[in-house]
Amino acid sequence: MEVTSIGSPLLWGGFTAFILAMLALDLGVFHRTSHEVRFKEALSWTFVWIALALAFNAGVYHWFGAQKGMEFLTGYVIEKALSVDNVFVFLVIFSVFAVPAKYQHRVLFWGVLGALVMRAIFIFAGAALLQRFHWVIYIFGALLVVTGIKLLVQRNEEVDPEKNPIFRFFKRVIPATRDYHGAKFFVRENGKLLATPLFMVLVAVEASDLVFAVDSIPAIFAVTSDPFIVYTSNVFAILGLRALYFCLAGVMEKFHLLKVGLAFVLVFVGTKMLIIDVYKIPIGLSLVIVTLLLAGSIVASFVWPKRTDGADPSVPLESA
């Protein structure tokens, strides 16, 4: 599979500088002091990141053509949709570890920074594999189909971040305090450097993102093999994840069927990769199908609200 990229060294450098500047502005100016992120602030940042992504998309469309522009937009929509699953997990992690609201943004900020590094490694490794071994695309496709089916079957199961092997390893090897010490990840007690529970929460967040990257990276390679398009669409989706979390944290229960839509998206994208040598589904059609699956699951969540008496939430109230 031939892998070509529109990303010149100048483009890569300029995009990286832009992202670092935005992150510095975020942490150094708007969140210099720890505070609870309110809905209005989160909504504003959500619109900012979406607007930046669409502006970047317009630039790609203008300078590199409609095909690349559509690839970026489709990839961004898929990654944005899959990132919603992260929000579910963040809710569980912050609840399990009783993280004070005013420190949650700090954890997500450094979690996102780590995610950007991990995604870059995954993307370049994936691109190299696809270029050298075309058959890897079938492994990616099968992985997505299996993951989608698993998500559909296990959508109501509770997530336990403490069972993650990466988290359990860190918990065994890193000495930690029992109590939070403000926004600090490490403190020194009796001359000994100890991790705080906030650092362990960060480890849980990073470990969960590592798992999600295994799904999301192959998914976008079904849309494009261009590493620059793959990375930039990933980055914009991830950077908007923190604001999206604070927007949706209080209403995620209302979108209880969204995981069904995400499961079907993964199955569709995986199937697209499996049949790529037989029939290549057009980018425009892929975008329409993904959008309809997600929109349909959101609408269905309101048509069939979640039951609170233990009944199957996918069954209409009238027939339950």
In a domain, 234, yes or no: yes
Does residue 311 fall inside a structural domain? no
Decide if 289 is inside a domain.
Answer: no
pLDDT on residue 84:
78
Write down the pTM of the prediction. Answer: 0.79
Q: Which helix (H) or strand (E) segment is 119 a member of?
A: helix 101-132
pLDDT at 307: 67
Has residue 62 been placed in a domain?
yes
Which residues span the domain enclosing 61?
A: 9-131+155-251
Contacts of 187 (CB under 8 A, 6+ apart): 177, 181, 193, 194, 196
CA 37 to chain centre: 20
- 50, 240 in Cβ contact below 8 A? yes
Query: Residue 32: its pLDDT value, please?
Result: 61
The structural domain count of the chain equals: 1
Residue 265 lies in a domain: no
The pLDDT assigned to 316 comes to 46
Q: Is residue 146 included in any domain, yes or no? A: no
The tens-digit pLDDT sequence of the chain (320 residues) is 545 567 688 888 899 898 888 887 776 655 666 667 787 888 888 899 999 999 999 999 999 999 999 999 999 998 888 877 777 788 888 888 888 888 888 888 888 888 888 888 888 888 888 878 888 888 888 988 988 898 888 766 665 666 667 677 777 788 888 788 888 888 988 888 888 888 988 988 888 888 777 777 888 888 888 889 999 999 998 888 888 888 877 676 777 788 888 889 889 988 988 998 888 888 888 889 988 998 998 899 888 887 655 444 444 444 33
**What pLDDT, on the 0 to 100 scale, is given for residue 254?**
78
CB 216 within 8 A of CB 234: yes
Rounded-to-integer distance, Cα 204 and Cα 159, Å:
12
- At residue 314, the pLDDT reads 46
Distance CA 271, CA 229 (A): 21
| Cβ atoms of 81 and 265 closer than 8 Å | yes
pLDDT at 308: 58
Residue 38 domain flag: yes
In-domain check, residue 164: yes
